[in-house]
Amino acid sequence: MHRKIEYFSKIETIESSLRKLSEIIKKASTYDEYVKLWIINDAAERNLYRAIEALIDIGKILVSDKKLKIPESNREVFLVLAENNLFPTEYLELIYKMIGVRNIIVHSYDKVDDSLVYVILKKNLKDIRKILKLLQEKI
């Protein structure tokens, strides 16, 4: 039961963040609006980070539940899952890119590339939903 609550909590974090990101893109429908509104900008980065981090957490919980090899990095979480037929190998590159974006947001304290985040908001939120769906199928 405890694990189901953990999964549910992570899924809710992702869904909540995606709802907020969808609202953000409605409020800042052009790149110029997006960069002008720093509050929107900061909220987008924070919610994008939260969604990706929760995907990683779900992957880690799956690895633990299935008693698989302990991964040494966030990227390796999904490699271990793929090696055990719990994550499609054709989506590894996509999740690696997401992890890279998460790392940029977390570790680039001075400035995150606004255009990168904006493009993700406009074109790639569906990818987060797809990865979530793939993981939910294995829970």
User: Can you give the CATH number for the domain in which 68 is found?
Assistant: 1.20.120.580
Record the pTM.
0.94
Q: In the chain, how many domains are there?
A: 1
pLDDT in tens, 74-85: 999 999 999 999
**Shortest CA distance to 49 belongs to which of 115, 138, 130, 128?**
128
Decide: helix, strand or coil at residue 86: coil
DSSP 27-61: HS-SHHHHHH-HHHHHHHHHHHHHHHHHHHHHHHH
pLDDT in tens, 58-67: 999 999 999 9
pLDDT in tens, 19-49: 999 999 999 989 999 999 989 999 999 999 9
What residue numbers bound the domain in which 23 lies? Answer: 1-137
Q: What's the confidence (pLDDT) of residue 82? A: 98
